[in-house]
Amino acid sequence: MLHRYSRLGYVALNVSDIERSKRFYEGLWGLQPNGDGADGACFLRCSDDHHNVVLYQGKPGLKRIGWQLESEDDVQTLAENLHTHGLATRESDPAEREMLRQGRTLRFTDPFTGVVHEYYARMDKADHHWCPTVAKIQRIGHVVLKTPRYAEAIQFYVNVLNFRISDVIGDRVTFMRCFPNPLHHSLGLSNAKGAALHHVNFMVSEIDDVGKALWRFKNNDVPIVRGPGRHPPSGSVFLYVLDPDGLTVEYSYGMEEFPENGAREHRVLPNIPESIDFWGAPTDKRMGAIGEIDNS
């Protein structure tokens, strides 16, 4: 028996200057601040949830990924399954759960990427409904991780963490959905020499959000590192930029969705540039270059 996901809940990022990053993510990206934690963390949201991004002081990169499961029973099922596979888990204490406004919260470190994954079934809602500002953000969409243990990681995410493969590009990247969430991918695994964060994605409601963002970023000297373009695997229109620390963040519009039952088989696309982008947008070498994994 495997656990069932609701969705990708939030991403915790380490940044070098919390106030600077907060200004970027609020004023230019379109997130809404929702208070600070006792440990100095800054909560931001793009939904009615208490948070979808948490900023911590640290070396720029990924602190952890938070996944919301369908029920508390799913949290327990996952804990038992991880123990069966010899993986150590740890529970957040009541004070941290209160700060995060979450129910039972379980964490473990993925041995193939070094990423800390967090699992919970309940998060409090914010005091006020989500109201988009500079972009009509729908949700936090996905995270792409780089790993030198690519083949092992894929098997682990499928067989232990209950992800399903949606599409693959050669031996370069695998797009995976957290079952039974219908979105084409909530996680990507990239074959690389070292483990790192590649990028964090946010899905927007209109293609105009991508076009408006292009000029908003240009007018504010935000580096654009790829796009606009369209990804063949998911069909998404995309735009990638760098945040103040050089972390790569993406807007995307549109994405294939899968039914829980009777989903198509995944495709294996050739490892050529046209499998990444229909439109042929150039890629800045800074894309995905910064993103240390914090496995503490």
Structural domain contains residue 33: yes
The verdict on 180 and 286 lying in the same domain is yes
Joined tokens for residue 38 = 């006792």
Structural domain contains residue 45: yes
Which pairing describes strands 42-45 and 53-57: parallel, antiparallel, or unpaired? antiparallel
Checking 271-276 for CB contacts under 8 A at 24+ apart, the result is: 271/169, 271/170, 271/171, 271/172, 274/232, 275/169, 275/170, 275/232, 275/233, 276/169, 276/231, 276/232
Other C-beta atoms within 10 Å of 218: how many?
12
**What integer pLDDT is reported at residue 113 of this predicted model?**
97
**What integer pLDDT is reported at residue 38 of this predicted model?**
85
Above pLDDT 90, what percent of the chain? 98
Which pairing describes strands 32-36 and 106-109: parallel, antiparallel, or unpaired? unpaired
**What integer pLDDT is reported at residue 295 of this predicted model?**
85
Q: Which of 214, 187, 181 lies closest to 201 in space, CA to CA? A: 187
The verdict on 161 and 276 lying in the same domain is yes
**Residue 76 to residue 231: CA distance in whole angstroms:** 36
Structural domain contains residue 129: no
Q: 24: domain CATH number?
A: 3.10.180.10
**Residue 199 to residue 143: CA distance in whole angstroms:** 6
**Residue 287 to residue 232: CA distance in whole angstroms:** 19
Q: Which of 120, 151, 185 is the last residue of a domain?
A: 120
The verdict on 162 and 103 lying in the same domain is no
The verdict on 288 and 207 lying in the same domain is yes
Structural domain contains residue 131: no
The verdict on 148 and 285 lying in the same domain is yes
The verdict on 116 and 153 lying in the same domain is no
The verdict on 31 and 146 lying in the same domain is no
Q: Which of 104, 123, 119, 120 lies closest to 34 in space, CA to CA? A: 123
Domain range for 213: 137-293
**What integer pLDDT is reported at residue 241 of this predicted model?**
98
Query: Residue 24: helix, strand or coil by DSSP?
Result: helix
Joined tokens for residue 163 = 């992800």
**What integer pLDDT is reported at residue 1 of this predicted model?**
86
The verdict on 193 and 285 lying in the same domain is yes
**What integer pLDDT is reported at residue 131 of this predicted model?**
95
pTM here?
Answer: 0.97
Which strand (E) or helix (H) includes residue 208?
helix 207-219
Structural domain contains residue 127: no
**What integer pLDDT is reported at residue 50 of this predicted model?**
98
Structural domain contains residue 156: yes
Joined tokens for residue 97 = 């759960």
In this structure, what DSSP letter does residue 79 have? Answer: H
How many domains would you assign to the chain? 2
Residues of the chain with pLDDT under 50: none
The verdict on 61 and 149 lying in the same domain is no
Structural domain contains residue 271: yes
Q: Which of 137, 145, 148, 172 lies closest to 161 in space, CA to CA? A: 145
Measure Cα distances from 95 to 67, 91, 175 in Å: 20, 11, 35
The verdict on 115 and 147 lying in the same domain is no
Structural domain contains residue 130: no
**What integer pLDDT is reported at residue 296 of this predicted model?**
82
The verdict on 172 and 286 lying in the same domain is yes
The verdict on 142 and 289 lying in the same domain is yes
Helices assigned H by DSSP within 37-126: 72-84, 94-100
